[in-house]
């Protein structure tokens, strides 16, 4: 097993755990945490492909990862802000009760 | 040194000539400014009007002095106004002796009348409007005078027509004034149509409407030779035919028979208007127009001969002179007598143009402008003093109550009658009579004009006797008018006498000036054969008229209830004359009756024929609309509704997917990603 395959395997594992968390949890904050895990799995992939790719000396993969982390931080801030507002409004963070956008 | 002075004078002359447009422009701009003013700003309006005309007067004076200083020269300018294809339309103005004299006269008499209006219109609430119209009128009239292009002349001519309508109908709440304004407008319009035809024809023939264009103008020898060589039918050359059309326009404005009917009615306007329009300016515009295009009128005349156009002008003028004088004898309205007198004198001017050329006619125009403005304003003063009474039978003995008015009126009246030697009217009328005597076509105009002179002296004596002598026959007592009205009278009276000095046979300065010659004082001018006999004859005629008038009316004019002295002699003839020889009635029975009939025919056609067609078209479209509505409700609307329903159902189906639960969406997302990944791997395997 090449080192790349090992990293990809860890990243896939991390992604699956995150997805499982995001799909099964009722609490909105836990869902957000699941999504963060999935994002980090993607970041891990970016770094791994860069490190073992044909041009490890160009810092492209690192740049991708840093941008991705910055976007994820912004997304987490917006997501948490939404959750807090919803909590103030509806006194709950249970996603099953938040179905007012039903068509 | 002298060269320099001459150069400077020439340069000034050129500058004045180039900027001559300011003369009409400034009063017109003043009119525009007054038009947007509030009605209460009476003083500003009057100041602006009088100030602008003073400017025009001073400018005209400078131009006149320049023209006198350079005899025989003229400055004609023209520039492109617009261009259509290869045809250019030019506008331009001209400074020559003719326009200089006329400009000076119009602006000077106009100025005096403006000043007089301050007093006369004092109590009118529409004082501001009055001065606006007066200014516009003066500007347009000056525009007619300086035009070097028939197009510019025609435009100003029409503004003159418009403002005369506005001024005659100034007291529009009086039905008679409104009717008179309409009549004046429509009657002059008849002439204007012919004038426009003449102008268009001239343009078609010569390709330009500029009169003097350095050899290429419409009435310069080159163009005239072309016009003479073509025939318009009826034995007329094109030049004569165009000349006659232009004369028809002039006849409309100048009140020549048979288009004179508007002028007496126009007396419904305020008196300053009568003085301005019907003495000095508008009616003179026609005479001036004929003088302006005189080369066209006289084209083709052999030495000492005459042309068709000039012959027609002479006959119309002479006939009008006698015809109107006859009617004036039997009128009782002080202004109406003067109006018919004006028509008659305009006949003299036209005859003078036809018989003796520009100078003869124009000299009478200038002298007449002064003494007739004087008479009208004197009449205005009388009317003002007699509390708006216009019937001479209700006046009398005013000489002691209105001394200034009487003295100046008497001077004007004597000038109009042609009282020998000391009055301008004598010399100008004598010039016309002399020309008539030497006319080699017929002698009849001469006799007609002499008879007209007799009538003139007679009817003026009759009027003066009625108004100023005998017993007072009115109700309220009369009073003299204010200074602002009498001073202009005195100034005009001075000119009514003094102007004669520039046109005597001994020193025919005026004639020489217009013809571009210089002249010196020479008493031998009187030695021309037959001149003394003619002067004797005209003196005799004037005294006969004055004597007859005084004998019949003198100090014993009849009161309103009694018949007129002449009525006792010949009641029937008197009736004809009093009813103005039935010209209005003839028009009512012919032209107006025809139009009435035509209007009824048109009305019937409108109602029955065209109305039916319109109703048919309307019905067809009504049916068409019904059909459209059926199609709309049943076909178009139906399909549309069906489409909407389908959309609704589809939307309902899709809406079910939208559960509002975030995790459901996420689940679908994850499954899709898995499906895509499987698909990707599968396809890379294959």
Quick one: which H or E segment has residue A81?
helix A60-90
* Contact assignment for A99 to B658 by CB distance below 8 Å: no
Q: For helices B444-468 and B424-437, what crossing angle results, to 10°?
A: 160
Q: Is B36 on the interface with A (CB under 8 A)?
A: no
Residue A23 has its nearest CB partner, among B658, B659, B667, at B667
Q: What integer is the mean pLDDT of B291-303?
A: 78
Rounded Cα distance between B419 and B430, Å, is 11
Residue-level pLDDT at A47: 92
SS3 B48: helix
CA A103 to chain centre: 27
Would you write out chain A's pLDDT as a tens digit for each of its 103 residues?
788 999 999 999 999 999 999 888 888 889 999 999 999 999 999 999 998 988 888 888 889 999 999 999 999 999 999 889 988 988 888 887 877 777 6
DSSP B652: H
* Contact assignment for A99 to B659 by CB distance below 8 Å: yes
- Set of chain B residues whose Cβ sits within 8 Å of the Cβ of A22: 663, 666
Q: Is A88 on the interface with B (CB under 8 A)?
A: no
Q: Is B234 on the interface with A (CB under 8 A)?
A: no
Higher pLDDT, B4 or B168: B168
- Set of chain A residues whose Cβ sits within 8 Å of the Cβ of B650: none
SS3 B417: helix
What b/e string do you get for B459-486 counting C-beta neighbours within 10 Å, with b at 16 or more? bbbbbbbbbbbbebbbeeebebbeeebb
* Contact assignment for A102 to B662 by CB distance below 8 Å: no
| B433 pLDDT above the threshold of 60 | yes
* Contact assignment for A23 to B656 by CB distance below 8 Å: no
* Contact assignment for B658 to A103 by CB distance below 8 Å: yes
* Contact assignment for A31 to B663 by CB distance below 8 Å: yes
Residue-level pLDDT at A58: 87
* Contact assignment for A95 to B663 by CB distance below 8 Å: yes
**pLDDT tens digits for B489-498?**
888 888 888 8
Residue B661 has its nearest CB partner, among A19, A22, A95, at A95
A residues 3..42 contacting B (CB < 8 A): 19, 22-23, 31
Q: Which domains does chain A have, with CATH numbers?
A: 3-90 (1.10.287.3510)
Question: How distant is the Cα of A51 from the closest Cα of chain B, in angstroms?
Answer: 24
Confidence band, pLDDT 50/70/90 cuts, at residue B305: low
**pTM over 0.90, yes/no:** no
- Set of chain B residues whose Cβ sits within 8 Å of the Cβ of A103: 654-660
Q: Provide, rounded to the nearest whole percent, the portion of chain B with pLDDT above 70.
A: 95
Smallest Cα–Cα separation from A101: which of B654, B663, B658, B665? B658
Residue-level pLDDT at B13: 67
Q: Is B658 on the interface with A (CB under 8 A)?
A: yes
Confidence band, pLDDT 50/70/90 cuts, at residue B474: confident
Q: What integer is the mean pLDDT of B338-359?
A: 87
Residue-level pLDDT at B302: 59
* Contact assignment for A102 to B663 by CB distance below 8 Å: no
* Contact assignment for B667 to A19 by CB distance below 8 Å: no
Residue-level pLDDT at B625: 94
| B479 pLDDT above the threshold of 90 | no
Q: What integer is the mean pLDDT of B310-335?
A: 88
Confidence band, pLDDT 50/70/90 cuts, at residue B8: low
* Contact assignment for B656 to A98 by CB distance below 8 Å: no
Cα B358–Cα B361–Cα B364 angle in degrees, nearest 5: 140
What are the residue ranges of helices labelled H in B147-237?
Answer: 150-168, 175-206, 221-228
CA B511 to chain centre: 25
CA closest to A23 among chain B residues: B663
The Cα-based distances of B559 to B406, B467, B552, B565 in angstroms read 20, 11, 14, 11
Smallest Cα–Cα separation from B33: which of B19, B21, B20, B51? B51
Interface test with B, best of A8, A16, A22, A31 (most B CBs within 10 A): A22
Give the strand pairing for B236-237 and B231-233: antiparallel
Rounded Cα distance between A41 and A18, Å, is 9
Rounded Cα distance between B371 and B416, Å, is 7
Confidence band, pLDDT 50/70/90 cuts, at residue B639: confident
Residue B660 has its nearest CB partner, among A19, A31, A99, at A99
Q: Is A76 on the interface with B (CB under 8 A)?
A: no
**pLDDT tens digits for B508-540?**
777 777 777 767 666 666 667 777 788 888 888
Q: How many Cβ pairs closer than 8 A exist between chain A and B?
A: 34
- Set of chain A residues whose Cβ sits within 8 Å of the Cβ of B655: 103
- Set of chain A residues whose Cβ sits within 8 Å of the Cβ of B661: 95-96, 98-99
B residues 617..656 contacting A (CB < 8 A): 654-656
Confidence band, pLDDT 50/70/90 cuts, at residue B99: confident
Rounded Cα distance between B2 and B33, Å, is 44
The Cα-based distances of B303 to B20, B153, B522 in angstroms read 35, 30, 26
Residue-level pLDDT at B354: 86
* Contact assignment for A100 to B660 by CB distance below 8 Å: yes
- The residues with which A27 forms a beta bridge, in sequence order, are A94
Which range among B59-73, B229-243, B359-373, B428-442 has the greatest average pLDDT? B359-373
Q: Is A100 on the interface with B (CB under 8 A)?
A: yes
CA closest to B655 among chain A residues: A103
Residue-level pLDDT at B526: 67
- Set of chain B residues whose Cβ sits within 8 Å of the Cβ of A101: 658, 660
Smallest Cα–Cα separation from B149: which of B84, B82, B101? B82
Which residues, including other chains, have CB under 8 Å from residue A35's CB and lie 6 or more apart?
A: A18, A22, A79
Question: How distant is the Cα of B686 from the closest Cα of chain A, in angstroms?
Answer: 23
Which range among B301-310, B374-383, B504-513 has the greatest average pLDDT? B374-383
- Set of chain A residues whose Cβ sits within 8 Å of the Cβ of B656: 103
- Set of chain B residues whose Cβ sits within 8 Å of the Cβ of A36: none
DSSP B236: E
Q: Is A102 on the interface with B (CB under 8 A)?
A: yes
Rounded Cα distance between B449 and B429, Å, is 9
| B547 pLDDT above the threshold of 90 | no
Rg (CA), chain B: 36
Rounded Cα distance between B304 and B310, Å, is 12
- Set of chain B residues whose Cβ sits within 8 Å of the Cβ of A32: none
CA closest to B665 among chain A residues: A23
Least confident of B96-105, B277-286, B298-307, B500-509: B298-307
Q: Average pLDDT of chain B?
A: 84
Question: How distant is the Cα of A63 from the closest Cα of chain B, in angstroms?
Answer: 25
Question: How distant is the Cα of B675 from the closest Cα of chain A, in angstroms?
Answer: 15
Residue-level pLDDT at B159: 92
Smallest Cα–Cα separation from B364: which of B465, B269, B456? B456
Residue-level pLDDT at B1: 47
Residue-level pLDDT at B256: 85
* Contact assignment for B654 to A31 by CB distance below 8 Å: no
Residue-level pLDDT at B217: 78
Give the strand pairing for B87-91 and B79-84: antiparallel
- Set of chain B residues whose Cβ sits within 8 Å of the Cβ of A95: 661-663
Q: Taking phi first (over 0 means left), then psi (-120 to 50 degrees means alpha), and beta for anything else, what does residue B516 get?
A: left
What b/e string do you get for B4-22 counting C-beta neighbours within 10 Å, with b at 16 or more? eeeeeeeeebeebbeebbb
Residue-level pLDDT at A40: 92
Residue-level pLDDT at B524: 67
Residue-level pLDDT at B616: 92
| B597 pLDDT above the threshold of 70 | yes
The Cα-based distances of B408 to B337, B405, B624 in angstroms read 18, 5, 79
Rounded Cα distance between B537 and B540, Å, is 5
Rg (CA), chain A: 17
- Set of chain A residues whose Cβ sits within 8 Å of the Cβ of B658: 101-103
Q: Taking phi first (over 0 means left), then psi (-120 to 50 degrees means alpha), and beta for anything else, what does residue B195 get?
A: alpha
Rounded Cα distance between B596 and B580, Å, is 23
């Amino acid at each position: 097993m090449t080192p790349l395959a090992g990293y990809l395997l860890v990243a896939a594992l991390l992604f699956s755990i995150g997805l499982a968390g995001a799909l099964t949890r009722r609490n909105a904050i836990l869902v957000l945490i699941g999504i963060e895990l999935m994002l980090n799995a993607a970041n891990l992939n970016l770094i791994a492909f860069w490190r073992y790719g044909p041009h490890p000396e160009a810092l492209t993969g690192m740049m991708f990862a840093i941008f991705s982390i910055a976007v994820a931080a912004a997304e987490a801030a917006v997501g948490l802000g939404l959750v807090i507002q919803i909590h103030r409004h509806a006194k709950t963070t249970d996603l099953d009760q938040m179905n007012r956008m039903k068509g | 040194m002298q060269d320099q002075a001459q150069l400077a004078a020439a340069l000034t002359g050129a500058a004045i000539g180039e900027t001559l447009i300011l003369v009409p422009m400034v009063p017109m701009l003043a009119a525009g400014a007054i038009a947007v003013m509030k009605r209460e700003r009476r003083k500003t309006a009057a100041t602006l009007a009088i100030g602008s005309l003073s400017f025009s007067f001073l400018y005209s004076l400078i131009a006149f002095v320049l023209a006198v200083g350079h005899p025989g020269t003229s400055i004609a300018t023209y520039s492109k106004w617009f261009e259509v294809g290869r045809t250019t339309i030019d506008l331009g103005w001209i400074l020559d002796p003719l326009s200089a004299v006329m400009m000076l006269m119009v602006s000077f008499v106009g100025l005096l009348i403006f000043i007089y209006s301050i007093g006369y219109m004092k109590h009118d609430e529409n004082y501001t409007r009055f001065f606006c119209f007066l200014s516009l009128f003066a500007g347009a009239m000056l525009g007619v005078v300086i035009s070097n292009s028939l197009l510019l002349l025609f435009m100003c001519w029409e503004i003159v027509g418009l403002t005369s309508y506005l001024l005659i109908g100034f007291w529009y709440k009086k039905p008679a004034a409104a009717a008179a304004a309409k009549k004046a407008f429509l009657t002059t319009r008849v002439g204007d149509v012919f004038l426009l035809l003449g102008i268009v024809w001239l343009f078609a023939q010569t390709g330009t409407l500029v009169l003097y264009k350095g050899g290429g103008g419409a009435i310069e020898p080159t163009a005239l030779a072309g016009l003479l060589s073509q025939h318009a039918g009826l034995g007329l050359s094109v030049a004569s035919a165009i000349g006659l059309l232009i004369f028809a326009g002039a006849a409309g404005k100048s009140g020549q028979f048979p288009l004179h009917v508007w002028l007496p009615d126009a007396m419904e306007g305020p008196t300053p208007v009568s003085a301005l329009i019907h003495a000095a300016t508008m009616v003179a515009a026609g005479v001036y127009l004929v003088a302006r295009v005189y080369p066209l009128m006289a084209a083709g005349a052999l030495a000492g001969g005459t042309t068709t156009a000039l012959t027609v002008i002479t006959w119309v003028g002479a006939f009008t002179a006698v015809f109107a004088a006859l009617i004036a004898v039997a009128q009782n309205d002080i202004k109406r007598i003067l109006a018919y007198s004006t028509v008659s004198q305009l006949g003299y001017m036209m005859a003078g143009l036809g018989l003796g050329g520009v100078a003869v006619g124009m000299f009478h125009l200038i002298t007449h402008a002064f003494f007739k403005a004087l008479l009208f304003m004197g009449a205005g003063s009388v009317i003002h003093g007699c509390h708006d009474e216009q019937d001479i039978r209700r006046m009398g003995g005013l000489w002691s109550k209105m001394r200034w008015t009487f003295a100046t009126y008497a001077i004007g009246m004597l000038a109009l009658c042609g009282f020998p030697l000391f009055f301008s009217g004598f010399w100008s009328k004598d010039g016309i009579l002399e020309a008539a005597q030497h006319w080699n076509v017929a002698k009849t105009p001469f006799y007609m004009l002499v008879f007209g002179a007799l009538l003139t002296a007679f009817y003026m004596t009759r009027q003066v006797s009625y108004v100023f002598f005998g017993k007072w026959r009115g109700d309220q007592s009369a009073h003299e008018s204010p200074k602002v009205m009498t001073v202009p009278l005195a100034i005009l009276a001075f000119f009514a006498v003094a102007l004669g000095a520039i046109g005597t046979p001994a020193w025919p300065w005026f004639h020489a000036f217009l013809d571009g010659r210089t002249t010196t004082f020479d008493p031998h001018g009187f030695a021309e054969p037959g001149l003394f006999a003619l002067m004797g004859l005209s003196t005799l005629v004037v005294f006969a008229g004055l004597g007859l008038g005084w004998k019949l009316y003198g100090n014993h004019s009849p009161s309103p209830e009694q018949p007129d002295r002449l009525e006792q002699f010949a009641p029937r003839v008197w009736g004809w004359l009093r009813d103005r020889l039935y010209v209005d009635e003839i028009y009512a029975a012919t032209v107006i009756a025809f139009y009435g009939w035509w209007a009824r025919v048109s009305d019937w056609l409108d109602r029955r024929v065209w109305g039916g067609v319109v109703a048919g078209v309307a019905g067809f479209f009504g049916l068409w609309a019904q059909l459209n509505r059926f199609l709309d409700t049943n076909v178009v609307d139906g399909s549309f509704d069906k489409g909407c329903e389908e959309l609704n159902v589809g939307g309902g189906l899709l809406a079910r997917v939208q559960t509002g639960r975030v995790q459901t969406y996420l689940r679908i997302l994850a499954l899709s990603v898995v499906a895509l990944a499987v698909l990707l791997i599968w396809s890379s395997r294959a």
